Amino acid sequence: MDPISTFSGGRNADGVSSQVGLIWQQAKSPLFVPILKLLVTVCLGMSLMLFVERLYMGIVIVLVKIFGRKPEKSYNWEPFKDDLEIGNSNYPMVLIQIPMYNEKEVYQLSIGAACGLSWPSDRIIVQVLDDSTDPITKNLVEMECQRWRSKGINIKYEIRNNRNGYKAGALKEGMKHNYVKDCHFVAIFDADFQPEPDFLWRTIPFLVHNPQIALVQARWKFVNADECLMTRMQEMSLDYHFTVEQEVGSSTYAFFGFNGTAGVWRISAINEAGGWKDRTTVEDMDLAVRASLKGWKFVYVGDLKVKNELPSSFKAYRYQQHRWSCGPANLFRKMIKEIIRNNKVTVWKKVHVIYSFFFVRKIVAHIVTFIFYCVVLPTTVLVPEVQVPKWAAVYIPTTITLLNAVGTPRSLHLVVFWILFENVMSLHRTKATFIGLFEAGRVNEWVVTEKLGISNNKLLPSTKSFNKPNTTILHKIHLLELMVGAYLFFCGCYDFAFGINHYFIYLFFQSLAFFIAAFGYVGTFVPNSY
């Protein structure tokens, strides 16, 4: 008798379980085996693509470090010098944009940091773009702007009648004011970002002395990485992005995706690229790709770090990852023809943007993580006729994991937790990727990432007063994670009883990770109402 019949209770002659076994026997060979073999082949191909991409970037970053290829050596860079004859007129006019939406917890941090930037006071304008719908928050933000204005800071408080276009709409509207016409560059900081006073001194020289450069991007530094295990996992993923992906893109192609904040743009490059567009939820990446196709170059300054806050609640992180996964896939769908037809950049750069930047990193990486390791590999336990080579099941994912983890050496001991957590999140990233590719229902969903107002690992005293949490089971359960966890647990039990590959060790741990997420025991608890 087939093991799955026995496992489902086939020894009991009563009915249901024996019927299940019979149906499984009749459908397995003609239907499930060919489909599973095809899925294994496709997943193996995607795994190899991701492996080669990670290995290539690993080699490049090692060479960059060995040869000390810093942006200051690759491009003209020299500090500004005071000229007594012309005064401050040799300094370019810089606009600082701070888009925000009901940011009661962090508005003081971002406005204070922007107003504290070291730059000639008559050559800088701080522009607060407030889309808040909460009247109390709007009043607080406006009062904060007035307070800094009384100190002599040239700060503008701008509001709109609607939130059309979300962040992209706010940035676009902000560029229409008459005083912006005198500005040469614009630095953008999200509401929880806190640049150091020397930020402009370290970035603007790249733009002034290199007319081909459109963007200077700084690295993110996380003030609450040690808040909980979930923020440590986020730090590992994002450190790889900044330490490797951005560095490699800057060093080899002078192209990478703008991170939406902690960067300085040449305003003429924004205008030439067509300005801000709200056709996807990744307006920053959209602008970067369009500017790159116009021939502009980007510079990443990894030594320049800007403090910011990681989402510490699972709900906030899920919304953020949906936007970050859905948006690039949708942008890829919208721009692939435009990229192919472009004649201003080299074929090699177009191949890099389409294949490496979009297809492998933004689509394949999400899909193969979930489909292969959480669906196909567990299912092969039930269908022993289909085997996954050991190099694909063990060696390749181990190598990819180690290449990703080296970006955060201090967290290497957490690599097993990181793998399990990333696989859980791959469920939402895969779903969001398909939504973006096929422009399904939530393709334009924009939920502002919830922030707690953390500065130097301390919660600001003016932040939310928490209500009694809603602890009902139905409120906390996430059904998708629960269903995937149950399937993995079933496959693990079956493999333990009848399998030969010992996948059950991984399957039990992975199912436990899904169950933990399903019941909301991830991150810190943030109430729904305040």
pLDDT of residue 15: 67
Rounded mean pLDDT, 68-79 = 90
94-100 and 124-130 as β-strands: parallel, antiparallel, unpaired?
Answer: parallel
Token pair belonging to 157: 């408080």
Count other C-beta atoms under 10 Å from residue 236's C-beta. 23
Q: Coil, strand or helix: which one is 389? A: coil
pLDDT of residue 7: 55
Q: Does the pLDDT at position 464 exceed 50?
A: no
pLDDT of residue 333: 96
Q: How far apart are CA 451 and CA 392, in angstroms?
A: 39
Rounded mean pLDDT, 374-383 = 94
pLDDT tens-place string over residues 233-247: 999 999 999 999 999
Counting beta carbons within 10 angstroms of the beta carbon of residue 118, is it exposed (0 to 12), middle (13 to 18) or buried (19 or more)? exposed
Counting beta carbons within 10 angstroms of the beta carbon of residue 15, is it exposed (0 to 12), middle (13 to 18) or buried (19 or more)? exposed
Residue 6 pLDDT level (bands cut at 50, 70, 90): low
pLDDT of residue 131: 96
Residue that wins the pLDDT comparison between 253 and 81: 253
pTM of the model: 0.91
The edge-to-edge listing of strands for the beta sheet with 297-308 is: 155-159, 124-130, 94-100, 185-188, 263-266, 213-222, 297-308
Task: Give, for 186, the enclosing helix (H) or strand (E).
Answer: strand 185-188
- Catalytic-role residue among 131, 190, 286, 495: 131
Q: Does the pLDDT at position 363 exceed 90?
A: yes
Q: How far apart are CA 256 and CA 335, in angstroms?
A: 16
Q: Among 35-39, 85-89, 194-198, 344-348, which is the least confidently predicted range? A: 85-89
pLDDT of residue 465: 36
Measured in residues, the chain has a length of 530
Residue 279 pLDDT level (bands cut at 50, 70, 90): very high
- Catalytic-role residue among 190, 192, 239, 284: 284
pLDDT of residue 292: 97
**Is 284 known to be catalytic?**
yes
Q: What's the N-to-C CA distance of the chain in angstroms?
A: 59
pLDDT tens-place string over residues 282-325: 999 999 999 999 999 999 999 999 999 999 999 999 999 999 99
pLDDT of residue 468: 41
Rounded mean pLDDT, 253-269 = 96
Mean per-residue pLDDT over the chain, rounded: 90
CA distances to 82, 94, 370, 427 from 86, rounded to whole Å, are 9, 18, 61, 59
Q: How far apart are CA 375 and CA 124, in angstroms?
A: 54
Q: Which residues pair with 158 in a beta bridge?
A: 129
Q: In sequence order, what DSSP letters do the residues of 271-306 get, joined into one string?
A: HHTT----SSS-HHHHHHHHHHHTT-EEEEEEEEEE
Q: How far apart are CA 411 and CA 324, in angstroms?
A: 24
CA-based torsion, 345, 346, 349, 353: positive or negative: positive
For the chain, what percent of residues have pLDDT higher than 90? Answer: 76
Residue with the two structure tokens 């960059």:
64
pLDDT of residue 529: 39
pLDDT of residue 463: 40
**Is 130 known to be catalytic?**
no
pLDDT of residue 467: 38
Q: Does the pLDDT at position 526 exceed 90?
A: no
